């Protein structure tokens, strides 16, 4: 075997169908587009969701609800997760900048502290919102929570 004798396996390579090259190609006349109709014309492109003139699904189904453009989305940060972060990174104070630098939140995320889990050490937390139960648990463990403006 030599490099110049290498060939693909027999039947592995098919030649490209040449469309629109006359009768000799075997695809002459209509160029494999069938007879007449929208799809046989040049420049045809179907709109997304087009169903051949039938009312499209996204227009048949009724609209429901609405999207409140003033809604503020908060990232939930549980007490258990705060304890985990404090242990892993040896922190006594956790604020928005620290959470962002450590990769727990994105740049403009709003954070709400929730009460799931246990806190065993006093940690001072800075967040945008906090549940009453979470505040109680943090203060019981000897820590504190300061709230920021969520805007």
Q: Which residues on adjacent β-strands are paired with residue 126?
A: 146
- The residue among 90, 82, 91 whose CA lies nearest residue 127 is 82
Residues of the chain with pLDDT under 70: 150-151
Per-residue model confidence as pLDDT tens digits over 102-131: 999 999 999 999 999 999 989 999 999 999
Task: Note the pTM of the prediction, 2 decimals.
Answer: 0.59
C-alpha to C-alpha distance for 27 and 33, rounded to whole angstroms: 9
């Amino acid at each position: 075997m030599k490099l110049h004798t290498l060939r693909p396996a027999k039947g592995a390579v098919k030649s490209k169908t040449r469309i629109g090259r006359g009768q000799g190609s075997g695809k002459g006349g209509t160029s494999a587009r069938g007879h007449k109709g929208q799809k046989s014309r040049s420049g045809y492109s179907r709109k997304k969701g087009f169903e051949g003139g039938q009312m499209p699904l996204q227009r048949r189904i009724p609209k429901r609800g609405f999207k409140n453009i003033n809604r503020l989305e908060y990232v939930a940060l549980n007490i258990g997760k705060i304890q985990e972060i404090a242990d892993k990174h040896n922190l006594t104070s956790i604020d928005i900048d620290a959470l962002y630098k450590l990769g727990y939140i994105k740049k403009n995320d709003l954070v709400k502290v929730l009460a799931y889990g246990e806190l065993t050490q006093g940690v001072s937390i800075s967040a945008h919102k906090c549940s009453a139960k979470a505040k109680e648990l943090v203060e019981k463990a000897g820590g504190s929570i300061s709230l920021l403006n969520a805007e």
